Amino acid sequence: MIKKDTFAEYRKAEGINASLLKAATSPRAVQKYLERDSKPSDQMILGTLFHNLLLEPNAPDWIVAPEVDKRTKAGKEAFAEFEANANGKTIVTQSQLEIAEDMMASLDVDGWVLHPFAETETSCYSMGKKARFDAYMEPCDEFPTGVIWDIKTAKACDFRGFQRSCYDYSYDLQAWWYCHLFEMEFGLWPEFRFLAIETQSPHIWQEFIVDESFLASGKAKVEKAFDVLQRHAQGSRKGNESKEVQVLSAGAWW
């Protein structure tokens, strides 16, 4: 089921998502993820702000924080009052807003625009599974199998730099999971694209299309994660269930 809901509603909805699968490296890691403090980092806040500016410019879900000294009692009280009246919106600093606007300007100068018929910030739910698509299009004449766009803010978006980020943050797992749910909804395996943009000026960006090897890697990680989730459901809380000593060699990419 495709549903246009808020991110807060998506988070409350039951179902396994890519974030849980990424965390499922061991039963103990799953438990720590379930008990985590979900307070976002500054980089996550910047990413959320950029997503909102790019994907839903007519529905701002952010608010700029006042410049107060939170080291003082008066400053703490003023910020607490502001936070209470934010109505759940993402609280950003003036500096974060300026960076996000510069990132948008970089796309504008180079002429990149999201497809005008793309559906944005949409949730997909299917048989206890869920995903949050940044943007997608159903199968159509222009995209016969459909397409999913995922927006990533990154330290580096040249080929090797972003490839490394994909490895570090398991973007391959996320890509396969999103395509898997898309296929369950529409019956076709979609094209999957990343738009990666650097958070440092001059905000260089690059669009990528993933290949079969990328998706195969993601599928293998998902299958391994489901095995870990099953052991967690059976009560295991171990950090490492393997007692074998492994041989460590220098990787080719060294």
- What's this model's pTM, rounded to 2 decimal places? 0.89
Q: pLDDT tier at 245 (50, 70, 90 boundaries)? A: confident
3-state secondary structure of 195: strand
Q: How confident is the model at residue 251 (pLDDT cuts 50, 70, 90)?
A: confident
Query: Among residues 234, 216, 235, which one has the least CA distance to residue 224?
Result: 216
* Residue from 120, 174, 154, 161 nearest 46 by CA: 154
Average pLDDT over residues 136-158: 95
Q: Alpha helices, DSSP H only, in the chain?
A: 7-12, 18-23, 27-34, 42-55, 73-84, 94-110, 159-168, 171-186, 212-233
- pLDDT top residue among 252 and 116: 116
Residues 6+ apart with CB under 8 A from 49: 62, 90, 92, 96, 97, 100
Averaged pLDDT for residues 112-130: 94
In the predicted structure, residue 79 carries a pLDDT above the cut 80: no
Band (pLDDT 50/70/90 cuts) for residue 64 is confident
Residue 62 is predicted with a pLDDT of 87
Mean pLDDT of 144-149: 98
Domains and CATH numbers, the chain: 2-233 (3.90.320.10)
Provide mean pLDDT across the span 70-74.
Answer: 78
Average confidence score pLDDT of the chain: 91
Return the minimum-mean-pLDDT range out of 67-76, 88-97, 164-173, 183-192. 67-76
More confident residue, 92 or 133: 133
Non-local (6+) Cβ contacts of 126 within 8 A are 1, 181, 184, 185
